[in-house]
Amino acid sequence: MPGNEVVEEILLEQRRLRNRMISFSVAQLDQGEPSRRTLIRSTISQIADLAAAAERQPEREIPTLEDRALVDQLTVVIQDSVAHAGEDELKLLLTRLVDLRRAL
């Protein structure tokens, strides 16, 4: 199945991000310009839009949840994208995740 290797890499990046993100305190999420929190929320929105485009749906409004929900929110949009994305979208998703991890 095309994209299996990319999906495996996406899931690896998801685990890496989860492990990194759960260690952040509120103060650490506030650090940076833009802040880590802003980077995470922006990436969540971009991934949700990617999934919507793959499903030929309008862009999705992502609710602003508490900091402790960011990991779960990211996980959900990644899973949604993987379920509906084609090869090109999967590669873009992987790039977004790697970029986020490196920025954090």
Check pLDDT > 70 for residue 2.
no
Q: Is residue 27 part of a domain?
A: no
Q: Is residue 23 part of a domain?
A: no
What range does the domain containing 66 cover? 4-14+34-103
Per-residue confidence (pLDDT) for residue 10, from 0 to 100: 97
Check pLDDT > 60 for residue 43.
yes
With contact defined as beta carbons under 8 Å apart, do 67 and 37 qualify?
A: yes
Q: Is residue 62 part of a domain?
A: yes
With contact defined as beta carbons under 8 Å apart, do 79 and 44 qualify?
A: no
| Tally of structural domains, the chain | 1
With a CB cutoff of 8 Å and minimum separation 6, the contacts of 37 are 29, 30, 67, 70
Distance, CA of 22 to CA of 26 (rounded, Å): 11
Check pLDDT > 60 for residue 1.
no
Q: Is residue 91 part of a domain?
A: yes
Q: Is residue 75 part of a domain?
A: yes
Token pair recorded at residue 7:
């999906």
Q: Is residue 47 part of a domain?
A: yes
Q: Is residue 24 part of a domain?
A: no
Between 53 and 1, residue with greater pLDDT: 53
H or E element at residue 89 = helix 87-103
Token pair recorded at residue 89:
């979208």
Q: Is residue 67 part of a domain?
A: yes
